[in-house]
A and B are shown apart, each in its own frame.
Chain A
Amino acid sequence: MNPHAHTSSLPPEGAGPPRGGSSAVTMQTKKRIAVVIGAGSVKCAAGIGLAKVLAREGIAIDLLVGASGGSMFAAVMAQGLPHEETTELVSQLWTRDLTSQRDNRAMLSALLPRMFGFDEKFGMKSDALVMQRLQAVFGNSRIEGTKTQLLITATDFHTGEQVVFSRGKLTDAIRASISIPFIFKPWTFDGRTYIDGFMSDPLPVGPAVREGADIIIAMGFDSPMQENISSPTRFAFQLSSIMNNNLQRARFAFHNAAHHGEVIAIVPEFEQRVRLFDTAKIPYIIEEGERATEAILPQLHRMLAQGERSLAAVA
């Protein structure tokens, strides 16, 4: 078993102070704020807009959770860099050419499995550039070393269960979390094979609930439906979107019902169509993230104020 992957052995609530992200607001309210960024490829940049608004309001994030594309953005945000630098880094990470290199051997193995040997390491695109980019941005940084506490989710390829990474190399956890089925091969390390985090939960609120977060701000994205089904890839994406959206609703409904505190859903609206690798639209996506976050600010401030009142009553 991978010693860095956990499903139930995360530190209990209050087991230790949040890394670096603690602020005056957090100290006053004692409410732990988690931000969850769900699967959504480049749309996850809306999370940067969310973080910008919270920072402007003096609200610190105690915990970041990310799945799939959200893992990449959450990992960059957890470094505690200025927002401009965060935007620059994610723009370098996620570009169209990530999928430009076909994995010819994998394609042949799919067409002629007996001749070329087909196995679980199937992905139509080479992941060499993905790993190169992740390495360039994160190097040997570790999850437990980020400024804000970070959790990254992936899915165990063999059991289907959600896996939460709270320690270990960022590059491994993110690569595991973004193993888009059919596109990038599942990622194996420390004896376990992982597929994309969205396969078990596209909006992983569960780890934040388990960590004892009082207020969970969950930014989720619906997977887009294909405009036309003109290729096997589009066919696969359409199926994936249908399953993803239904799974997201089911899981989110459960977490809404189960959590003792608040889950605040943020669903940014994009009037412009945003495709998987529309990196040029990141500024627009961030703006929409800011707009959507501003809409929930009155509620968020009221909840934080309630925490302050409760503390005053106890005192």
Chain B
Amino acid sequence: MKFDVSHDGAVCIVKVIGSIDGTTSQELQDTLGKLLGPDRKNMVIDCTELSYTSSAGLRVLLGGVKDSRRMGGDLRLAAVQAGVRKVLSLSGFDSILKIYPDASVATQSFAA
């Protein structure tokens, strides 16, 4: 798994490349922990190249959502591929996460 981190104004965009599971989730958790802060509480996870997530990945995403919302921001998903979307749907996580068609729309959603 690789990350590509960029910023658009106050929004941090993390493109996750590969898959999130028990072997990689800690790395993502550490990355989110470093990036999220009171001054950077809005985040977009660009899932264009995220091929898969297991329960470990879901837990990290949920943790990121909780942390960002606790700070008054949000963590939003963009370009979720079919396989990941199925897991989000089966686990009901799609009911608590905001999901957008691409990173640009997700980033703009913070301005709305």
**Smallest CB separation, B47 vs chain A (Å):** 16
**Once the chains bind, are A265 and B23 in contact (CB under 8 Å)?**
no
**Once the chains bind, are A262 and B54 in contact (CB under 8 Å)?**
yes
Contact with A along B82-109 (1 / 0, CB 8 A): 0100110111110100000000000000
Interface CB pairs A-B, < 8 A, 8: A248-B90, A249-B91, A250-B92, A256-B58, A257-B59, A263-B55, A264-B55, A265-B87
**Once the chains bind, are A252 and B22 in contact (CB under 8 Å)?**
no
CA distance A194 to B8 in the complex (A): 57
Residue A230 interfacial (CB < 8 Å)? no
Q: Which of A122-130, A131-139, A295-303 faces chain B?
A: A295-303
**Smallest CB separation, A34 vs chain B (Å):** 13
**Once the chains bind, are B59 and A264 in contact (CB under 8 Å)?**
no
Residue B56 interfacial (CB < 8 Å)? yes
**Once the chains bind, are B86 and A265 in contact (CB under 8 Å)?**
yes
Residue A261 interfacial (CB < 8 Å)? yes
In-complex Cβ contact of A302 among B23, B83, B93 (8 A) = B23
Q: Which residues of B are found within 8 Å of A261, using beta-carbon distances?
A: 22, 55
In-complex Cβ contact of A296 among B52, B90, B91, B95 (8 A) = B52
Residue B68 interfacial (CB < 8 Å)? no
**Smallest CB separation, B17 vs chain A (Å):** 14
Q: Which residues of A are found within 8 Å of B83, using beta-carbon distances?
A: 295
Contact with B along A234-266 (1 / 0, CB 8 A): 000000000000001110110111010111110
Q: Which residues of B are found within 8 Å of A256, using beta-carbon distances?
A: 55, 58-59, 91
**Once the chains bind, are B19 and A252 in contact (CB under 8 Å)?**
no
Instruction: Classify the secondary structure of A's interface with B.
Output: helix
Q: What residues make up the interface of B, taking CB atoms closer than 8 Å to A?
A: 19, 21-23, 52, 54-56, 58-59, 62, 83, 86-87, 89-93, 95
CA distance A263 to B22 in the complex (A): 10
**Once the chains bind, are A259 and B21 in contact (CB under 8 Å)?**
no
**Once the chains bind, are A249 and B92 in contact (CB under 8 Å)?**
yes
Q: Which residues of A are found within 8 Å of B95, using beta-carbon distances?
A: 249
Q: Which residues of B are found within 8 Å of A100, using beta-carbon distances?
A: none
CA distance A298 to B21 in the complex (A): 11
Q: Which residues of B are found within 8 Å of A262, using beta-carbon distances?
A: 21-22, 54-56
**Once the chains bind, are B23 and A306 in contact (CB under 8 Å)?**
yes
In-complex Cβ contact of B22 among A249, A296, A303 (8 A) = A303
Contact with B along A151-166 (1 / 0, CB 8 A): 0000000000000000
**Once the chains bind, are B87 and A299 in contact (CB under 8 Å)?**
no
Q: Which of B55, B56, B95 has the most CB of A within 10 A?
A: B55
**Once the chains bind, are A299 and B52 in contact (CB under 8 Å)?**
yes
**Once the chains bind, are A264 and B91 in contact (CB under 8 Å)?**
no
**Once the chains bind, are B93 and A303 in contact (CB under 8 Å)?**
no
CA distance A249 to B91 in the complex (A): 5
Q: Which residues of A are found within 8 Å of B22, using beta-carbon distances?
A: 261-262, 303, 306
